[in-house]
Structure 1
Amino acid sequence: MAKVEALWETPKASQYLQQLCKHFAHKIEVSFTPEEGRIDFPFGPVNLRASDAGLWIEVNAEDAEGLERGKDVVDRHLERFAFRDEFKHMPWAA
């Protein structure tokens, strides 16, 4: 299984973690607390962590196509939720 992760420095990490998890909980299996979350997408699980440092997200998938899909899903939804913070995309690193 392949993975990619990123840390976005934001004081609203817990807010965005919970917003992402609540949004997807209407469609797929999700578990979360204010500090940690997991979203079980068809391409693979996405793990989230909120701390004083920011919002950490890890996308897991079977292949590169799944990783790209996961990054795209996360980025598009965070861009919508965090538009006031001028969010564009996570600083993904392999």
Structure 2
Amino acid sequence: MPRSQARVATDRPNRYAKQLASHLGRRIDAVWDEESGTGTLAFGAGRGTLTAEPGALLLAVEGQAADLATLEDVVGRHLVRFGAKDELVVEWQRDTGEPGLVHRNQAEDPA
């Protein structure tokens, strides 16, 4: 099953992982274990994992190739929104060699 991963630099990986699991848990089966610093996301189209380590939050999603971009988008978009103040950037790397999505806070153009 195709897989995509992202390493998101942050001083608060546990906080963001917990917030992401809690928010997504309203619609899917999502679990965050504070003690181990790991979590899982069970989507209908695939699954995801969250791993907090010093200085970074590791994200991974896996599913059918046709669903990979959607999984990247859901996880990445929400995390960047939660971490807007910290200017989090989520850059997905797919194991298929195809480029993954990139999520970053887009400041509104005052034009």
Q: TM exceeds 0.5? A: yes
Letter paired with 1:28 = I
RMSD of the TM alignment (CA)? 1.1
Report the count of equivalent residues.
92
Whole-Å Cα distance in 2 between the matches of residues 76 and 9 of structure 1? 15
Counterpart mapping for 1:1-94 below 5 A: 1-34=1-34, 35-63=37-65, 65-87=66-88, 89-94=89-94
The runs of 4+ residues in structure 1 deviating greater than 3 Å are none
Which has the greater radius of gyration? Answer: 2
Q: TM-score, normalised by structure 1?
A: 0.90
Q: Which has the higher contact order (CA 8 A, sep 6+)?
A: 1
Identity among equivalent positions (%) equals: 29
Shift of 1:24: 1.4
Q: Compare the two structures and name the one with the higher helix fraction.
A: 1
**Which runs of 5 or more residues in structure 2 are unaligned?**
95-111
Whole-Å Cα distance in 1 between the matches of residues 55 and 85 of structure 2? 19
Q: TM-score, normalised by structure 2?
A: 0.77
Q: Does structure 1 conserve the Cα–Cα contact (< 8 Å) formed by 2:12 and 2:55?
A: no
**Which runs of 5 or more residues in structure 1 are unaligned?**
none
